[in-house]
Homo-oligomer: A and B are copies of this chain.
Amino acid sequence: DPGGQKPVRERAVVAAADLISAHGLAAATLERVADGAQCSVHSLYAAFGGRDGLLHAVYERYSPILDVEAVLAAPREDLQETIRTLYRLLTEALVREPRVVPAMFADALARPDDPAVQGVFRHAFSRMVEGVGTWFTGEIAAGRIRDLPPLLLVQQMLGPLASHFLMRPAAAHLSVTDLPSHEEAVELFADNFLRAVGTRPPAS
């Protein structure tokens, strides 16, 4: 690469993430990403095979999927500590800039019938649901989690923490309450999750 620039692949993922964070998935066209990354559309095809490949690379970088999959592939440890670790990874993905994960949720809510949104979200969503769901199936078999449908266990796990951190910017303006620290929220929701679906009460 000329002038000491980072490789096209790296620049394109960052440019696409910035566009998605600011304007949503629809804004991340190959033309606009090429503009932002100071490269040609042709080089994006060469690096990613097309727009879908680029969007998957953005998702892998800015969602917690790779870290989550590493935690789930490790030997099974204390269940409460594993849930807390997953919650910390999710928290980081929800609060960091650029806001790729919140923007993806926003797109899925606002334009559920848009084929591009469906494609990315289905890929991202099904990979997370299947990874975590399969891990839950093992926890159920080991007798640590009640035998509930894996999809609903995933939503039970992600829902409270996600709604807390996604709505935290708005909640910061409320007078009713002091916001807990990130770690306090992680511990409280992890404790609640195990009370809700665990077979044994969590150690508090």
Q: How far is the CA of A166 from the CA of B107 in the complex (A)?
A: 11
CB distance from A43 to the nearest CB of B (A): 29
CB distance from A181 to the nearest CB of B (A): 12
Do residues B148 and A156 form an inter-chain contact, with CB atoms below 8 A?
no
Chain A interface, >50% SS class: helix
Take A106-B109, A196-B195 as given contacts and tell me if A163 and B155 are in contact as well, using a CB distance cutoff of 8 Å: yes
User: Residue A64 at the B interface, CB < 8 A?
Assistant: no
> A197 — nearest CB in chain B belongs to which residue?
B192
Give chain A's interface residues, CB within 8 Å of chain B.
Answer: 24, 102-103, 105-110, 112-113, 118, 121-122, 125-126, 129-130, 133, 148-152, 155-156, 158-164, 166-167, 169-171, 173-180, 185, 188-189, 192-193, 195-197
